[in-house]
Amino acid sequence: MILPTGRGIRSIRGFTLIELAIVTVIVLVLVAISTPSFRATFASLELDNTAQDLAKVMIYAQEMSVIDKVNYKICLEPGSHIYWLAKQSPYSGKGKVFDRFAGRFGRTFAVPERIGLRANTAEIVFYPDGHSDEQRIEMNNSLGEKRTITVAGIGNIIVTGGE
């Protein structure tokens, strides 16, 4: 584009190299300043999501035990950072044999390695009358944030922490 100026006709071509370098430096400084904030936010969201996922599987086990009129249990392996859902076999009699649950909730759930997992016992049983074993599961991340899932014997499943 050609523009008339007081001194004659001048051609405008675009930005100079110095202008582009200044903008690039400003963007890089902003990214460097905001990265720790994003990292902390991600760690907090990951902890929240993991605790909520485990609580949802527990609620599902509790509801299904009432519907199917058999015991369900959540099996925890804190050292391996995994858990899964199992259903009591209808043919188990008094031996109470549990089979790994099939379907959408039948997979092995993984807790990210960055999240610490600690539980009182390795399993939580949910009974057909709506009550369950009492359990307290603690999760924490590298920032020191903690979430606690409390399973009360009367069937309440409460996630606390992060308020």
- Given this model, what pLDDT does residue 80 score? 87
- Given this model, what pLDDT does residue 92 score? 60
Q: Domain 46-160's class?
A: alpha beta
- Given this model, what pLDDT does residue 40 score? 74
pLDDT tens digits in sequence order for the chain, 163 residues long: 555 555 656 666 778 889 999 999 999 999 888 877 777 788 889 999 999 999 999 999 999 999 999 999 999 988 889 999 999 887 766 667 888 887 777 789 999 999 999 998 899 999 999 899 999 999 999 888 999 999 987 878 999 986 5
- Given this model, what pLDDT does residue 2 score? 55
For the chain, the domains span 46-160
- Given this model, what pLDDT does residue 46 score? 92
Residue 129 tokens, joined = 């009358």
- Given this model, what pLDDT does residue 103 score? 74
